[in-house]
A and B are shown apart, each in its own frame.
Chain A
Amino acid sequence: MTTIAEMPAGFADKVLSAQSTFRSVMDAMARPGSVQRIEAASGVPAPLMRGSAAIALTLFDQDTPVWLDAKMAATLDVAKWIKFHTSAPVIADSSVCSFALIGDIDQLPALQRFAIGSNDYPDRSTTLIVQVPSLTQGPAIELRGPGIDGTAVLRTQMAPDLLERLAVNHALFPRGIDLVLVADDAIVAIPRTTRFVAKEG
């Protein structure tokens, strides 16, 4: 096990890596369903994927409380790594977090446990960073909405009830949460504007 003192700095060049990671996340958010690659961070404690770590290094800081799901919080390593590298407070109350790190998508808490913003300030909402095994394998889900030219197809393992919950999230617009799915160094974003249709087979 690595101790904090031995932790390598996540990015080799912090400034340029943060920029390139941000552009991947921005492109992902602007084009839901598109798979973007991100410049992966190194020295990342399990079960944090290197893509999730890169997003943390890019977007987290002392102004963004972070919530961890049970899998991420199973050891103290992830919380320690986040505090050390990003200065973000790791908090227990998911309803006021800026970001939530989800290690187990099958145990995703009810979405109303996160911040969904208000109609006056819909931006005061949680962005969920959700780790999944793959963004190229799995049942096809058709996506529509802003950022998508007609339709896009997402392939991933997602429980059917999660699609229903995301449909509720979409209906809350302009309130709602936004998702960034991560598989290793690949990401797909699903903002609150995206609608889903599960496809056969």
Chain B
Amino acid sequence: MTKPKVATTSLAGCFGCHMSILDIDDRILKLVDIIDFHKSPVTDIKKFSERCLVGLIEGGCCNEENVHVLQDFRKNCDILISLGDCAIMGGIPAMRNNVPLKECFEEAYLNGVTVHNPSGRIPDSPELPLLLDRVYPCSEVVKMDYHLPGCPPSADTIWEALVALLNNKPLDLPYSLIKYD
């Protein structure tokens, strides 16, 4: 019997939520008995080649590339989950959401106290993903099926969610696992 596939990605996140996946400790051995990780930083698989049951999304969308990756996940995963506060509401990166984009660039590349940029230019290589006007929560870009709050969500939260979904049970987080910090 082929095992269900789980894909994961980090968009505008800090990889803290992925650290929390690893934080399930030895339960990860049980996990790889029942699932296969597909496209994920854990496997270094870059492209979807199979349909996945679950996609875990860390981080919101701060640039064009994030949007494309998220849309690709939506296309290839049956169940898409916002993993953590950044995916849910933008998180720390969204603190720029009420600062105009031009001011953000100028602070980062021209005026910031630690900036060393003799060219005085704001990087504009076509290789760089275009920054969006603000950071978007994942649910404002594609439909998200479930949300696991937390910064990061605890390993227990992630474990409970995966176990419930893999067993076709409804995902009802108990009081102790709903945390926004």
A and B associate in one complex: no
Chain B residues proximal to chain A, CB less than 8 Å:
none
Q: Give the interface of A toward B (CB within 8 A).
A: none
